[in-house]
Amino acid sequence: MKTIAPSILSADFANLQHDVELVNNSDAQLLHVDVMDGVFVPNISFGFPVMEALHHCSTKPLDVHLMIVHPEKYVQRFCEAGAWSVGFHLEAVDDPRPALDIIRHCGVRTCLTINPDIDPKRLLPYLDQVDMVLLMSVFAGFGGQKFIPETMDKVRFIRREIEERHLDTLLEVDGGVNADNARYLFAAGADVLVAGSAVFRALDPVAAIRQMMQ
């Protein structure tokens, strides 16, 4: 997979259906759904009712990124609300396995993610146990932040591990992705690039997605 996953966090919440339809009519293969609890991150986004509404009007699979504490309490409901994948932060839990087991049991793809201050080596024991890993290229919590360039080496590092171990784990990058850095991130080995402001602040979001996927 090589795709852009537009982040609905940057959409117009007064016209959510309109912005979901833009993504439906684009080349993007996923729609990224950012859930924040105001505890793990200093921001609150939305929860199950919005997730269900997105599931109702999106033709693209929903890639759910939980920025919450105690993900094991909520992952099942996100699965049931129509997630294609459910990911949560490794640094938010003592042991990611219980929450991963619940997601897997629901028949949904698993994803583990880390903030920029977490050593990517901490993902290595789980690389063969999840469907996707997500490297944050900004600190989780807000859209519209500047891409942290050190992420590039982390992408290469994780990609090398995936190749050496002959895994099919997907590699996703989230934060500050735009038309300038997208091709370098794909070239470094990313499969999925989340883009919020670069899509929804563009004059032509569909064209912006197409441009980043080239």
> In the annotation, is 117 catalytic?
no
Separation of first and last alpha carbons in the chain: 13
Partner whose binding site includes residue 190, from ligand DX5, Zn ion, none (CB under 5 to 8 Å by kind): none
Q: List the interface residues with ligand DX5, window 179-198 (CB under 6 A).
A: 194-198
Is 3 near ligand DX5 (CB under 6 A)?
no
The residue with tokens 């009519």 is 25
Is 65 near ligand DX5 (CB under 6 A)?
yes
Asked if 144 and 121 touch (Cβ cutoff 8 Å), the reply is no
> In the annotation, is 19 catalytic?
no
Given candidates 9, 20, 54, 75, which one binds ligand DX5 under the rule CB under 6 A?
A: 9
Is 60 near Zn ion (CB under 5 A)?
no
Is 177 near ligand DX5 (CB under 6 A)?
yes
- Nearer CB in complex with ligand DX5: 86/198: 198
Partner whose binding site includes residue 54, from Zn ion, ligand DX5, none (CB under 5 to 8 Å by kind): none
Is 65 near Zn ion (CB under 5 A)?
yes
- Crossing angle of helices 205-213 and 16-24, in 10° steps, is 40
Long-range contacts of 11-15 (CB under 8 A, 24+ apart): 11/200, 12/200
CB atoms within 10 A of CB 36: 21
- Minimal distance, residue 174 CB to Zn ion, in Å: 4
The binding site for Zn ion (CB under 5 A) comprises 34, 65, 174
Q: What is the set of active-site residues?
A: 34, 174
